[in-house]
Amino acid sequence: MAEAKKLFIKTYGCQMNVYDSERMAEALGAQGYVTTDTAENADMILLNTCHIREKAAEKVYSELGRFKPLKAANPDLKIGVAGCVAQAEGEEIMRRQPLVDLVVGPQTYHRLPAMEQAVRAGARAVDTDFPEEDKFDHLPKGPRAGRGPTAFLTVQEGCDKFCAFCVVPYTRGAEVSRPVARIMAEARDLVDRGVREITLLGQNVNAYHGEGEGGAWTLARLIRALAKVDGLERIRFTTSHPNDMDDDLIAAHGDEPKLMPYLHLPVQSGSDRILKAMNRKHTAESYLRLIERLRAARPDLLLSGDFIVGFPGETETDFDDTMALVRAVHYGQAYSFKYSARPGTPAAERAGVPDDVASDRLHRLQALLTEQQRATQDSMVGREVSVLFEKPGRLPGQMVGKSDYLHAVHVKDAGAQIGQIARVRVTESAANSLAAVLI
Q: How many residues does the chain have?
A: 439
Pick one of ligand F3S, ligand SF4, ligand SAH, none as the site partner of residue 17 (Cβ within 5 to 8 A by kind): ligand F3S
Q: Does 241 bind ligand SF4 (CB under 6 A)?
A: yes
Report how far apart, in Å, the C-alpha atoms of 43 and of each of 35, 66, 114, 155, 381 are.
10, 16, 16, 32, 48
CA triple 22-106-8, angle to 5 deg: 40
> In this structure, are residues 329 and 306 in contact, taking their beta carbons and an 8 Å threshold?
no
- Binder to ligand F3S among 46, 47, 52, 201 (CB under 6 A)? 52
Q: Does 159 bind ligand SF4 (CB under 6 A)?
A: yes
Pick one of ligand F3S, ligand SAH, ligand SF4, none as the site partner of residue 13 (Cβ within 5 to 8 A by kind): ligand F3S
Contacts of ligand F3S in 198-237 (CB under 6 A): 203
Q: Does 14 bind ligand F3S (CB under 6 A)?
A: yes
Query: Using CA of residue 44, residue 45, residue 50, residue 51, what is the dihedral sign?
Result: negative
Region near ligand F3S per CB under 6 A, out of 9-17, 36-44, 97-105, 177-185: 9-17
Region near ligand F3S per CB under 6 A, out of 48-56, 112-120, 174-182, 404-412: 48-56
Pick one of ligand SAH, ligand F3S, ligand SF4, none as the site partner of residue 342 (Cβ within 5 to 8 A by kind): ligand SAH
Q: How far is the CB of 121 from ligand SAH (least distance, A)?
A: 37
Burial of 299 by CB count in 10 Å (0-12 exposed, 13-18 middle, 19+ buried)?
A: exposed
Number of residues that bind ligand SF4 (CB under 6 A): 10
Q: Does 191 bind ligand SF4 (CB under 6 A)?
A: no
- Binder to ligand F3S among 7, 9, 16, 187 (CB under 6 A)? 16
Pick one of ligand SAH, ligand SF4, ligand F3S, none as the site partner of residue 308 (Cβ within 5 to 8 A by kind): ligand SAH
Residue at 242: amino acid letter: P
Report how far apart, in Å, the C-alpha atoms of 352 and of each of 277, 313, 325, 355, 357 are.
13, 7, 23, 8, 10
Q: Helices 219-226 & 247-255, crossing angle to 10 degrees?
A: 30
Q: Does 5 bind ligand SF4 (CB under 6 A)?
A: no
DSSP-derived pairing of the beta strands 211-212 and 215-216: antiparallel
Pick one of ligand F3S, ligand SF4, ligand SAH, none as the site partner of residue 6 (Cβ within 5 to 8 A by kind): none
State the Cα–Cα distance between residues 113 and 102, nearest whole angstrom.
11
DSSP-derived pairing of the beta strands 421-429 and 434-438: antiparallel
CB within 8 Å of 248: residues ≥ 6 apart: 218, 220, 221
Q: How far is the CB of 183 from ligand F3S (least distance, A)?
A: 19
State the Cα–Cα distance between residues 209 and 373, nearest whole angstrom.
33
- Binder to ligand F3S among 28, 64, 81, 84 (CB under 6 A)? 84
Q: Given the complex with ligand SAH, which of 257 and 343 has the nearer CB atom? A: 343
- Binder to ligand SF4 among 14, 126, 163, 220 (CB under 6 A)? 163
Q: Given the complex with ligand SAH, which of 79 and 167 has the nearer CB atom? A: 167
Region near ligand SF4 per CB under 6 A, out of 10-18, 110-118, 157-165, 382-390: 157-165
CA triple 238-240-244, angle to 5 deg: 145
DSSP-derived pairing of the beta strands 408-411 and 434-438: parallel
Contacts of ligand SF4 in 195-214 (CB under 6 A): 203-204
Per CB under 6 A, residues contacting ligand SF4 are 159, 161-163, 166, 168-169, 203-204, 241
